[in-house]
Structure 1
C-alpha cells in the first residue's frame, strides 16, 4: 500500500504549501489509532479551503485514509483534545517529509508541554468536569440514575485528563492506563463506579461524595488560567467573558463554571443598576483574596 501512496505524497511534498507528511501504519494491538485502516497518510499544510480534507483509498483488500489538515487545525486539536488519535499519529507515525523540521518542533513542544498551554488546557478541562459533575448531581437528585451515571463517567474522565495535564502529560486515547501511574485514586473511583455490587443509587451517592473532595483539590490548578484572565479587569459581564478570545474556548461550560465558583466564594457578583426599577445587571469579579 505504501508504494501505491508514494506518488500521492511525493506530489504533495513538492508543494510550497506543504509543511509535512506523516505515515501511520496499523498495529494489530492498536487498531483504534487508524480507525481500522491499514495506513493513514497525514499531510499538514499552511492553508487550505477546508481545515480538514479526507480521502479513502483501497487496493488489494487493503485500505488507506488520507488526511490533509491545516497547521491551525492541528494546533486546535492539540489544545482542545478533540481528536485524541492525533497524539498517537504524531508519536508513532513515520516522517516522510517535513519542511524546516516541522514535526521535530511539534514533538519537542509536546514533550516539553509549555506551562501557559497547560494552564489553558487545565482550565478547559476543569470547566468540562464541573459541567458534567453538576449535571450528573442534578439528575441524581431527581432520581434519573442512568443519566446521572452517564455524566459521572464523563466527569471522572475529565478529572483524569485534568490530573494528567497538571503533571505535564498529554491525555491520550488510553487515559485510564496513563492515570494508573499518576493518580490511582481517580482510577479506583472509576472502577468502584462500574464494578461495585452496591445498589445503583448507593454507588452514585458514594461517588459524588468522594469525587467532591478530589474536585476541590483541583480547583487551584483548574482555575489558574481563568484567574489570570479575570485579573485583567475589575469586573466582567458574561458577554465580555464569552467574547474574550481564550475564554471562548470554554464554550458552553463557562456559565456553569462561574456558578460553581460563586457558590465557593471564589467569584463575586457585582450588581449594576439598570433603567428598570429593582433590576440589576449581573457582573462578575474575582474575590479580592485571589486577585
Structure 2
C-alpha cells in the first residue's frame, strides 16, 4: 500500500513546510472512521493558505483520501475535540515521514496527556455542558420537551467526556463505552433518559435534578482554567476575555459560563460608570476567597 501511494506524498514530504506524513488503513479502524476510504494519508504542514485541503484517489479498485492539515487547525481539533476522528487517526496510523520527530513527540504527548492540556479541555467541555444544561432547562420550563430532550442528551455527552478527560484519558468516539467503566453513574443517567418508560416530562424532570448535582460537584475542576486566567488581572470585560488567547477556545459558550460562575459565587460583577446616566459597563472579577 505504501509503495503505491509513495508518489502522492513524496513530493510534499520533501518540502520544508511539511512536518509529517501518516497513513491510516481501513483494516485498522471501522469504515466510518475512514469515511469508507481504504486508506487515509494525513499530511501535517507548518502553515498553508487553506487550513484543510483534501484530494481523493482511486487505485486497484480501492479509494484513498489525502488530507493536508496545517498545524494550527490540527491543534485546534485536538484541543476542542471538534474533529473526533483525528485522535483515532493519530493513534492508529503508521508514520511515513517525520521531520525532527514532530509526529513521534505529538503521539507521545497525546498518550501522556499532560495536565495543562487536560485542564483546558475540561474547561471547554464544562462550558459546553453548562450551555446545553441551561438551554435544556429553559426549554423544559417553557414546555418544549423534545427540544429540552435534545439539549439534555448533548449535556450528558459533555458530562461523559468531562469524566473521561478528568480520569486522564482522551474521549473516544465510543465515549459511552469508556464512561460505563470510568463513571457508571453518568452512564446510568443516560440509560434512564433513553430507556425509561416514564413520560418524557417526568424523565427530564428527574434528570435535571440528578445532573445538577453532578455538574455542581465538577464545578471546581471544570472552571479551574478560566478562573486561573481571570485571576491575572483585577477585572475583565467580555471583549477582553474573548480576545485573550487562553480563553479563545471557550468562544460562544463563555457568556453562559460566566453567568453560571456568578450564580455559584465564584465570580463577581463590577459596574463601571459610562457617559449615560444610570447605565454601567459590566466587568467580571474572581471573587476573593475568605481566609
TM-score band, normalised by shorter chain: over 0.9
| Residue 219 (1) aligns with residue 222 (2) | no
| Residue 90 (1) aligns with residue 120 (2) | no
1:179–1:186: 8 Å Cα contact kept in structure 2? yes
1:267–1:284: 8 Å Cα contact kept in structure 2? yes
1:136–1:149: 8 Å Cα contact kept in structure 2? yes
Report the equivalent of 1:4.
4
- 2:27 is paired with a residue of what secondary structure? coil
Report the equivalent of 1:262.
262
Q: Per-residue deviation at 1:204?
A: 0.6
Q: Per-residue deviation at 1:27?
A: 2.8
Q: Which string of whole-angstrom CA distances, capped at 9 and with x for unpartnered residues, describes residues 60-118 of structure 1?
A: 43211100111222111111111111111111111111112222101111112111111
Report the equivalent of 2:234.
234
- 2:140 is paired with a residue of what secondary structure? helix
Distance (Å, rounded) in 1 between the aligned partners of 2:61 and 2:205:
51
- 1:49 is paired with a residue of what secondary structure? coil
Distance (Å, rounded) in 2 between the aligned partners of 1:237 and 1:45:
36
Distance (Å, rounded) in 2 between the aligned partners of 1:16 and 1:35:
29
Report the equivalent of 1:51.
51
| Residue 20 (1) aligns with residue 43 (2) | no
With structure 2 as the length reference, what TM-score do the two structures score? 0.96
Distance (Å, rounded) in 1 between the aligned partners of 2:29 and 2:290:
48
Q: Per-residue deviation at 1:4?
A: 3.2
Between the two proteins, the alignment pairs up a number of residues equal to 291
Report the equivalent of 2:41.
41
* CA shift in 2, pair 1:18/1:191, >3 Å: same
Bigger shift: 240-249 or 228-237?
240-249
| Residue 287 (1) aligns with residue 254 (2) | no
* CA shift in 2, pair 1:96/1:155, >3 Å: same
Report the equivalent of 1:31.
31
Q: Per-residue deviation at 1:275?
A: 2.2
Moved over 3 A (4+): 1-4
RMSD: 1.6
1:24–1:41: 8 Å Cα contact kept in structure 2? yes
2:42–2:67: 8 Å Cα contact kept in structure 1? yes
